[in-house]
């Protein structure tokens, strides 16, 4: 059985992965809070990305730039004038829609209105009598432009001179720091700068659980290379991204590539590919990978007056590097990982168990320590728990019968259960049960941490 979004939501709430945001006040639409397991899973995803793209990657370095940037940044990039969606209201039920989405949904993605002007979209909707997906009505307002950036004020006055934006992407903080990072890290082009952080977009149609929200986290990299080499690097990072998703535990068949056709590319891009994941509503964007030419650096150079060119020490040439940008949402990957790895397994005795077959690196909890009978082995189990706490994310569980405790560990993806029983008190050995095979081995306490360290790397 594969989970639909409602079942997944119930699962995440029950086990403490994800809760509705501001729940005790009736919630705040499309906000989600990550509970103990969700927070841990999110951190593990970010850690894996950071290792693969930054700390263990000889090509790249890392950055943590501000959410609030000088507002000129967004004029330079075109976000102030151009980061807009076509908004249309249904007059009958007052629901809001993105005109381009109305078209793609009604035509089951056969017609892609991306790049059309608003009149074209409006005419298509009217001529083809596309009905409101919420109420079935056919009575729309004209299309209005809606800027997706969250605006706020800096300082004590609310005059428009102090208008400032929450960043809609982490990428621009990287471009603003290109020179700083290059100089201080002494990196030579080609090299990349990776960053993880919150971004904000006032989306018209958030939804599909945590897929599209107004506050979300991105893991982005800008990879700077010599003009003319960008398409090779584009191919390189696409392959790298697919290998990363495999490491993160996504099945090959759950993922596919969508190459944007040449005529649909953003004017600054000479290649763009989306990695799509097969979400419960169909394939949709998980990861965007774009070859952005020197657009961002050139615009920031123009608007700031600062020279952002790179001087190649080997050839003495000066140039603005071209850029490849793989941009991935933390929550979209988290959602894909849960969907891909959560299953109801029927066992040989006919019973079923909920099993999260998540990779060991991402499992929110690595080990659970269980005394078989609390009254007799509780003290020893606490000792073992403390021994393991030194090295691992580990929990202690002594409530309910042992079978139920194993099931709970399986359901949240804990790779190993360590059970303390009568024999432990006599010979200092414990039973280790593996999640997927449910096979058990006996290991001595002296050797326990080392044994698990090796197993968890597998
Ligand atoms: P979409 O077409 O789904 O709106 P996009 O093409 O605007 O996405 P990008 O600007 O390429 O997205 O952002 C890079 C990545 O950031 C996306 O692939 C996605 O993983 C994530 N992302 C973007 N917008 C959101 C959002 N509103 N909620 C959650 N994640 C998001």
> 179: CA distance to ligand 1 center in Å?
27
What topology does CATH give the domain 5-81+149-340? Answer: BirA Bifunctional Protein; domain 2 (3.30.930)
Torsions phi, psi for 416 (to 5 deg): -135, 135
d(CA 101, CA 88): 10
Tell me the fold of 365-456.
Answer: Rossmann fold (3.40.50)
User: What are the helix (H) ranges across 220-322?
Assistant: 230-247, 295-304
Supply the residue whose CA is at minimum distance from atom 24 of ligand 1: 212
Tell me which residue has tokens 């099993």: 355
211: CA distance to ligand 1 center in Å?
9
Q: What is the pLDDT of residue 1?
A: 62
The pTM assigned to this predicted structure is 0.94
Helix spans in 248-365 (H): 295-304, 330-341
- Distance between CA atoms of 164 and 148, rounded to whole angstroms? 13
Q: With cut-offs at 50, 70 and 90, classify the pLDDT of residue 2.
A: confident
Chain segment 338-393, per-residue pLDDT in tens: 999 999 999 988 999 999 999 999 999 999 999 998 888 999 999 999 999 999 99
Q: Output the CA 272–ligand 1 centroid distance in Å.
A: 14
CATH topology of domain 84-147: Herpes Virus-1 (3.30.40)
Domain boundaries defined on the chain: 5-81+149-340, 84-147, 365-456
b/e map of 235-257 (b: 16 or more CB within 10 Å)?
ebbbebbbebbeebbbeeebbee
Tokens of 450: 């080392």
CA 290 to ligand 1: nearest atom: 11
pLDDT band at 99 (very low <50, low <70, confident <90, very high): very high
**Which residues approach ligand 1 with their CB closer than 6 A?**
169, 201, 203, 212-213, 216, 218, 285-288, 327-329, 331-332
Q: What is d(CA 111, CA 323) in angstroms, rounded to the nearest whole number?
A: 30
Task: Name the percent of the chain lying above pLDDT 90.
Answer: 88
The closest alpha carbon to 286, from 343, 224, 236, 241, belongs to: 241
In terms of Cβ atoms closer than 10 Å to its own Cβ (0-12, 13-18, 19+), residue 112 is middle
Residue 278 CB neighbour total at 10 angstroms: 19
Query: How far is ligand 1, taken at its centre, from the CA of residue 329, in Å?
Result: 7
CA of 280 to the centre of ligand 1 (A): 18
Categorize the per-residue pLDDT at 78 as very low, low, confident or very high, splitting at 50, 70 and 90.
Answer: very high
Q: Of all protein residues, whose CA lies closest to atom 2 belonging to ligand 1?
A: 285
pLDDT tens per residue, range 171-193: 999 999 999 999 999 999 999 99
What pLDDT score was predicted for residue 187?
97
């Amino acid at each position: 059985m594969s989970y639909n979004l409602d079942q997944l939501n119930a699962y995440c709430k029950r086990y403490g992965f994800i809760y509705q945001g501001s729940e005790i006040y009736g919630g705040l639409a499309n906000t989600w809070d990550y509970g103990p397991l969700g927070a841990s899973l999110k951190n593990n995803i970010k850690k894996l990305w950071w290792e693969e793209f930054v700390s263990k990657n000889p090509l790249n370095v890392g950055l943590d730039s501000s959410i609030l940037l000088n507002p000129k940044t967004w004029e330079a990039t075109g976000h102030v004038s151009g980061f807009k969606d076509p908004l249309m209201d249904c007059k009958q039920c007052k629901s809001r829609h993105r005109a381009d989405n109305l078209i793609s949904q009604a035509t089951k993605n056969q017609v892609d209105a991306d790049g059309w002007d608003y009149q074209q979209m409006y005419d298509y909707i009217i001529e083809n009598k596309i009905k409101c997906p919420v109420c079935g009505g056919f009575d729309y307002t004209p299309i209005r432009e809606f800027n997706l950036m969250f605006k706020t004020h800096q300082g004590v006055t609310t005059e428009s001179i102090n208008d400032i934006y929450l960043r809609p992407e982490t990428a621009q903080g990287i471009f603003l720091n290109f020179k700083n990072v290059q100089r201080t890290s002494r990196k030579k082009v080609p090299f990349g700068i990776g960053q993880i952080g919150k971004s904000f977009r006032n989306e018209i149609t958030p939804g599909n659980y945590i897929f599209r929200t107004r506050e979300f986290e991105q893991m982005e990299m800008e990879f700077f290379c010599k003009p003319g080499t960008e398409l090779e690097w584009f191919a390189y990072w696409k392959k790298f991204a697919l290998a990363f998703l495999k490491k993160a535990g996504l099945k090959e068949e759950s993922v596919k590539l969508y190459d944007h056709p040449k005529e649909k590319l953003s004017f600054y891009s000479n290649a763009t590919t989306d990695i799509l994941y097969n979400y419960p509503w169909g394939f949709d964007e998980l990861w965007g990978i774009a070859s952005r030419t020197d657009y961002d650096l050139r615009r920031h150079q123009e608007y700031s007056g600062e020279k952002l060119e790179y001087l190649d020490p080997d050839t003495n040439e000066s140039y603005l590097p071209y850029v490849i940008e793989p941009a991935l949402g933390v929550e979209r990957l988290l959602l894909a990982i849960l969907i891909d790895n959560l299953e109801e397994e029927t066992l040989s005795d006919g019973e079923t168990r909920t099993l999260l077959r998540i990779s060991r690196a991402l499992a929110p909890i690595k080990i659970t320590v269980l005394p078989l009978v609390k009254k007799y082995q509780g003290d020893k189990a606490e000792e073992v728990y403390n021994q393991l706490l030194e090295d691992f994310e580990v929990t202690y569980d002594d409530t309910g019968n042992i079978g139920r405790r194993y099931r709970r560990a399986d359901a949240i993806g804990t790779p190993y259960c360590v059970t303390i029983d009568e024999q432990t008190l006599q010979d200092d050995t414990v039973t280790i049960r593996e999640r997927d095979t449910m096979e058990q081995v006996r290991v001595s306490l002296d050797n326990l941490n080392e044994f698990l360290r090796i197993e968890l790397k597998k």
